[in-house]
Structure 1
Amino acid sequence: MSVSIRSAVPSDAALILAFVRELADYEKLAHEVVADEAALTDALFGSNPRVFCDIAEQDGAPAGFALWFHTFSTFEGRHGIHLEDLFVRPRFRGAGVGRALVERLARRCVDEGLARLEWSVLKWNAPAISFYESLGAVAMDGWTVYRTHGAALARLSGQAASRAGRRAGDEDGTR
């Protein structure tokens, strides 16, 4: 079975949203998905895209995706890539699809002189952790991710919560 990776195009918006929802189901976070096709289309293919997506196909069937964006390391003085989402549909797992997606991003880093490729993984996701470690990735012990969004972001900015794009029911700003 052959795996091919291609850059997403605007007509992939529905597929990308389907992948996002499937990933959220797997991560037990489906209730947090508020994105729609229009939002993804604008973010990925608008006039100033700041996020990018690669689609994996196995024998022509959509098998998975990698959604990523550029970061910057002040210590390195160079950009890097943050892999926001990596998802392979269950029936395609174990066939090299996830590896092909990550390898493509690693090649991009090397080809473009980027300092690093990094991502986050849920602590309970043992299969993903095992996969990432098999690629030579290491956990960044000693670092904790912090986030502010929703009502907490609005409070921090001094703006009304509705102006910060607060989601309905998001009173405490946590996710």
Structure 2
Amino acid sequence: MIRSATPADVPAIARLIRALAEYEKLSHEVVLREEELHQHLFGERRYAEVVLAEDGGQVVGFALFFHNYSTFLSKPGLYLEDLFVLPEQRGRGHGKRLLSHLAKLAVERGCGRFEWSVLDWNTPSIEFYKSFGAVPMNDWTVFRVTGESLERLARAA
């Protein structure tokens, strides 16, 4: 079953985020605080949404997403920040149901695109995405500014 997360799900979401970071070999980058996650998902200004995959009443996966905007299409888009299913639950259709649910939301919300990023080494995920028609955007490079570089850029205005 796929359902929208509630404030009571924040601890489960945090556990899944940490498990995702471990899978991606990025645990050292996680500085997650559940209070901030709660505020950003359910506070006055919501920055993202989460849907959960459940099996037998247990949360086994999640997708965290938010809207972006395509100037070329003049339409909103849906951006999938994180998708994760517990390793022991993979191969049971949870990931595909999460993605299908988000695609349906994108269509219902009038989005022109549904996009996400995947690590280059993550061949199982890449093959999974390609299996239902997703195509890599090889002509694009993702850029990121964080920490002191972000502060410095903000001061340059």
**TM (normalized to structure 1)?**
0.87
Structure 2 distance, partners of 1:90, 1:157, is: 40
Is the radius of gyration larger for structure 1 or structure 2? 1
In 1, Cα distance between the equivalents of 2:153 and 2:67? Answer: 25
Match of 1:43 in 2: 40
Residues in 2 aligned to 1:93 and 1:138: alpha-carbon distance in whole angstroms: 22
Tell me, yes or no, if structure 1 residue 86 matches structure 2 residue 83: yes
Matched, 1:57 2:54: yes
The partner residue of 1:17 within 3, 14, 17 is: 14
Aligned-residue sequence identity (percent) comes to 49
Structure 2 distance, partners of 1:131, 1:58, is 20
> Unmatched 5+ residue regions in structure 2?
none
1:48-103 Cα offsets, whole Å, 9 max, x none, are 10200001001211110000000000000000100000000011100000000000
In structure 2, how many angstroms separate the alpha carbons of the residues matched to 1:144 and 1:75?
A: 18
**d(CA) in 2 for partners of 1:108 and 1:8?**
15
Pairwise mapping of residues 1-175 of structure 1 onto structure 2 (< 5 A)? 4-158=1-155
CA–CA separation in structure 1 for the residues paired with 2:6 and 2:65:
15
In the TM superposition, structure 1's runs of 4+ consecutive aligned residues that sit over 2 Å from their partners are none
RMSD: 0.9
Give the number of aligned pairs.
156
User: 1:68 and 1:115 mapped to 2: Cα distance?
Assistant: 15
**C-alpha distance in structure 1 between counterparts of 2:128 and 2:36, whole Å:** 30
1:95 maps to a residue whose letter is R
Mapped partners of 1:158, 1:111: distance in 2 = 40
Distance 1:112 1:62 in 2: 26
